[in-house]
Structure 1
Amino acid sequence: MLNSKMLKQFNKAYEDDALKAAVYGASPVGLVVLLYEGAIKAINQAGYAIESQRYDEKARLVSKTIDIIDGLRESLDLQQGSEAAGNLNDLYIYMKQRLSIANLKNDLEILAEVRRLLETILPAWQELNRSGMATGAASNAY
């Protein structure tokens, strides 16, 4: 589950040494939680950048979010043919498309939409992480 693509994507998205230490000590499900939290944080920061008319920073933050979502998507195990993995794949593609539009149009509503999608799914991953369950739905998706 914890593959080199995920780690490369995370390293690309994050520069903080303390965070990197948390990443390397995280379970695969814990890493997914960190990626979701990082994507939500970057979306929030992109929204503030739009409000402040700092469009270069907004573009960087939206790109960072897309990179995180790419990392999540690339780590899905679609070969197992699980419905969960297929649904997540479709959702990640949709989020990337919406983020691209938000980036072009400086659209806060679209950023909020993608943030809500991530925030809707995040609690399930957090619960899996808390319970130590890296099997079942999680292993069928990643």
Structure 2
Amino acid sequence: MYVDAHRKGARQYAEVHTSSNFGEESPHRLIQMLMEGFLARINSAKGAITHGDMEAKSIYISKAIGIVGGLNEVLDLEQGGEIAANLRQLYDYINFRLLQASSENSEDILNEVTVLMKEVKEAWDAIA
């Protein structure tokens, strides 16, 4: 299905980056890198919209959706309890908004999901 394809893509993205570029990073750092990658893709998508490059916008948003799928996939609902369940809902919402942003070419929606992911990332970064 659509979601499964994006999850597979996110998994492959993480595997390529972890095996080729980042050596033996901790699982905590890998999640940070996925969040950083998400924010970079959203930034690139906003730039593409500004420059009228709709093909690039679609590519960057698709990659961001894949990254969110990867973040969603690593959630442990049993051990993470309510926090993990809330994150799953948030990630689903972010992906829904990304699809809207893509269809509407909306930088405002991209700004919204950027703020949401930055809040999650700030909390994650504080867990060191």
Q: What is the TM-score normalised by the length of structure 1?
A: 0.77
Task: Return the letter of the residue paired with 2:74.
Answer: S
User: Which residue in the other structure is 2:124 paired with?
Assistant: 125
Contact 1:102–1:110, Cα closer than 8 Å, also in 2: yes
CA distance in structure 1 between the partners assigned to 2:27 and 2:80 by the alignment = 20
Task: Give the match's secondary structure for 2:126.
Answer: helix
Alignment of 1:35-114 (within 5 A): 35-80=34-79, 82-114=81-113
Structure 2, unpaired ranges of 5+: 1-6
* Structure 1 residues 19 and 80: alpha-carbon distance in aligned structure 2, compared to 1, 3 A threshold: closer
Q: 2:21 is matched with which residue?
A: 21
Q: How many residues align?
A: 122
Runs of 4+ in 1 over 6 A off after TM superposition: none
Alignment CA distance shift 1:67-1:116 (3 Å)? same
Q: TM-score w.r.t. structure 2 length?
A: 0.85
Deviations 1:4-58 (A, max 9, x none): xx8962543797x699422x42111111100000000000000000000000000
**In the aligned structure 1, how far is the partner of 2:8 from the partner of 2:106?**
30
Equivalent residue, structure 2, for 1:12: 13
- Structure 1 gaps of 5+ residues are 1-5, 132-142
Counterpart-to-counterpart distance in 1, 2:25 and 2:18? 12
Amino acid aligned to 1:12? Y
